[in-house]
Chains A and B, each alone.
Chain A
């Protein structure tokens, strides 16, 4: 018995190491006072300071932020409406199954296929308007397209857990549709909406494939910048940048986890 526990523990620790050592290494080299090599030469924050003096990186960071914020706001709005419409409208049973499948599709489709489809779609749209030249607008639209499905899924599961009882009670207590939405449905849905938005934000922040296929020369985001820079050479600056992105993602994931847990306890 004891032997098995030991083996399981070792396996678990090794797996964790396998998952996290590369990330720890990146963080390690981002504060190592040397440009090359794997030997520890003392602690420094130089790479971080240099990062904030690099115009290109600052521009990429700005693009990333604009892309993530705008696409998250729009997709959260659309995803919430979609979820409410799907769950509360009395669809026939068959239609419900079809809608369910359609909603899950963007989640399970490989990014690369999705990205290629976007390229084709924007190709068509470009013949109608020059607005759809590769660039930030295209990226925002593309991100909204896949984020909406994620938001809708999260919000819908929250809708299901709220149940229809309280909404019926509200109607019974003279609440019209708007009053019901503002005073009952949306407040109860808030944890789901926030969780969905955080998920969408994280996805947008980290996305490479879809951004790569829709970006223009002026709309480089951090993941794209890192990709391009690494192809030239891995510098400690890139390590610093990666560490920052990593930290932001971790903070987001943890706060999302906390947020949903806090509400689920209630």
Chain B
């Protein structure tokens, strides 16, 4: 086998609760310093996997290796891994300062060092003015920063984030995502995020593992996973997708909508391809290849762009310039040969 690389390696992790397989033979190599995201719907086992990494849950089988050291049987209190919990789980009886200091004090680190490090963390997350207050006196967003500071102050080798933004409103969430990404890049620490929000995953991650029913279905950079979903589940879970089924022969894809060139060569004779609505080009002039003549059925305003539903299909096109188009118009669509992702399973 290959030599170990620095970072976190999971090897064939299995975990069942009764008859339910929460984590099914998962192996992952997470590089040191990367922002990694476990993305999946609720109940897909992503949180269980995170808890196994944290040491809060023991897997039935498999190894957890951190920087070449086997930490499989180390309990949470021994692992240099800290967690930001979904509920934040701040200590309600301690001030913000003492909340952040908790992990240092429990390891009997000298007071002067504790003060120095906590103050640094307070400053980094811009919450120094709240250090004497209690968690119940802070807003959700502020408490989230405290939870982040409380974990980061320990300078963990890996920071785990369990749906940390699920309690924030949409606007704040978008802002925090960007901040989180910047923070991670500045610190160069390994972050592992668990989320069911595909936008969040795309914004923050270096790499994404999409999970379903305890298994990792796809693994790659946000671009790879979004633009070239491996199967129907990934295509539909990560945003909108037009699914087109057809047969592949003579080097072309034959569908009800027409015969198309595709760049990828499918391994099947009969199957599906996916194309994101924003990749479909729409024009008045007939394109040279992969052209479809379609009628506009419905236009949905989405603020920054428009979803246009067309017949045949139903095909969906997402565009920011619809102005010339109205319902009933006939338009030409081009399904780019490169943009069509071949789906498997």
**Taking CB as reference atom, which chain B residue is nearest A164?**
B89
Q: Is the pair B93, A175 in contact by a Cβ cutoff of 8 Å?
A: no
**Taking CB as reference atom, which chain B residue is nearest A169?**
B89
Q: How would residues 155 to 174 of chain A score, 1 for a CB under 8 Å from any chain B CB and 0 otherwise?
A: 00000000101101111111
A174 contacts across to B, CB distance below 8 A: 77, 103, 106-107, 154
Interface centre among A165, A173, A179, A184 (most CB of B within 10 A): A173
A156 to B: closest C-beta gap in Å? 19
Q: Is the pair A166, B89 in contact by a Cβ cutoff of 8 Å?
A: yes
Q: In the bound complex, what is the Cα–Cα distance between A176 and B107 (angstroms)?
A: 9
Set A168, A175, A184: member contacting B85, Cβ < 8 A? A168
Q: Is the pair B83, A169 in contact by a Cβ cutoff of 8 Å?
A: yes
Q: How would residues 123 to 139 of chain B score, 1 for a CB under 8 Å from any chain A CB and 0 otherwise?
A: 00000000000101000
Q: In the bound complex, what is the Cα–Cα distance between A178 and B208 (angstroms)?
A: 39
- Cβ of B66 under 8 Å from chain A: no
Set B87, B103, B134: member contacting A173, Cβ < 8 A? B103
Q: What are 7 residue pairs bridging A and B, where the CB atoms are less than 8 Å apart in the complex?
A: A165-B89, A169-B90, A170-B106, A172-B81, A174-B103, A175-B102, A188-B93
Set A166, A172, A179, A266: member contacting B91, Cβ < 8 A? A166
B136 contacts across to A, CB distance below 8 A: 266
Tell me the residues in window 78-110 of chain B with beta carbons closer than 8 Å to chain A beta carbons.
Answer: 81-83, 85, 87, 89-93, 102-103, 106-107
Q: Is the pair B106, A172 in contact by a Cβ cutoff of 8 Å?
A: no
Q: In the bound complex, what is the Cα–Cα distance between A176 and B103 (angstroms)?
A: 11
- Cβ of B150 under 8 Å from chain A: yes
Given A165-B87, A169-B85: A179 in contact with B106 (beta carbons within 8 A): yes
Tell me the residues in window 225-281 of chain B with beta carbons closer than 8 Å to chain A beta carbons.
Answer: none
B83 contacts across to A, CB distance below 8 A: 169, 172
B77 contacts across to A, CB distance below 8 A: 171-172, 174-176
Question: Lowest 3 CB-CB distances: which A-B pairs, in order?
Answer: A173-B103, A169-B89, A165-B89
Chain A residues packing against B (C-beta within 8 Å): 163, 165-166, 168-176, 179, 183-184, 187-188, 266
B176 to A: closest C-beta gap in Å? 20
Q: Is the pair B82, A172 in contact by a Cβ cutoff of 8 Å?
A: yes
Please give 19 more A-B residue pairs, beta carbons under 8 A apart, in addition to A172-B55, A173-B150. A163-B87, A165-B85, A166-B89, A166-B92, A168-B56, A168-B89, A169-B85, A169-B90, A169-B91, A171-B77, A172-B81, A172-B82, A173-B82, A173-B103, A173-B106, A174-B103, A174-B107, A176-B77, A188-B93
- Cβ of B76 under 8 Å from chain A: yes
Q: In the bound complex, what is the Cα–Cα distance between A35 and B150 (angstroms)?
A: 70
- Chain B interface, DSSP helix/strand/loop, else mixed: loop
B341 contacts across to A, CB distance below 8 A: none
Q: In the bound complex, what is the Cα–Cα distance between A96 and B83 (angstroms)?
A: 30
**Taking CB as reference atom, which chain B residue is nearest A179?**
B106
Q: Is the pair A173, B102 in contact by a Cβ cutoff of 8 Å?
A: yes
- Cβ of B335 under 8 Å from chain A: no
Set A166, A172, A184: member contacting B76, Cβ < 8 A? A172
A150 to B: closest C-beta gap in Å? 25
- Cβ of B54 under 8 Å from chain A: yes
A173 contacts across to B, CB distance below 8 A: 82, 102-103, 106, 150-151, 154
B82 contacts across to A, CB distance below 8 A: 172-173
B231 to A: closest C-beta gap in Å? 35
B144 to A: closest C-beta gap in Å? 14
Q: Is the pair A170, B102 in contact by a Cβ cutoff of 8 Å?
A: yes
Q: In the bound complex, what is the Cα–Cα distance between A169 and B102 (angstroms)?
A: 10
Q: Is the pair B76, A171 in contact by a Cβ cutoff of 8 Å?
A: yes
**Taking CB as reference atom, which chain A residue is nearest B87?**
A165
A166 contacts across to B, CB distance below 8 A: 89-92
B194 to A: closest C-beta gap in Å? 15
**Taking CB as reference atom, which chain B residue is nearest A266?**
B136
Q: In the bound complex, what is the Cα–Cα distance between A169 and B56 (angstroms)?
A: 10
Given A170-B102, A174-B77: A187 in contact with B87 (beta carbons within 8 A): no
Q: In the bound complex, what is the Cα–Cα distance between A163 and B103 (angstroms)?
A: 20
A179 contacts across to B, CB distance below 8 A: 106
Set A168, A176, A188, A266: member contacting B106, Cβ < 8 A? A176
A36 to B: closest C-beta gap in Å? 57
B55 contacts across to A, CB distance below 8 A: 172
Q: In the bound complex, what is the Cα–Cα distance between A68 and B257 (angstroms)?
A: 87
**Taking CB as reference atom, which chain A residue is nearest B154?**
A173
Q: In the bound complex, what is the Cα–Cα distance between A173 and B84 (angstroms)?
A: 11
B84 to A: closest C-beta gap in Å? 9
Set A165, A176, A187: member contacting B93, Cβ < 8 A? A187
B165 to A: closest C-beta gap in Å? 17
B79 to A: closest C-beta gap in Å? 8
Q: In the bound complex, what is the Cα–Cα distance between A174 and B89 (angstroms)?
A: 15
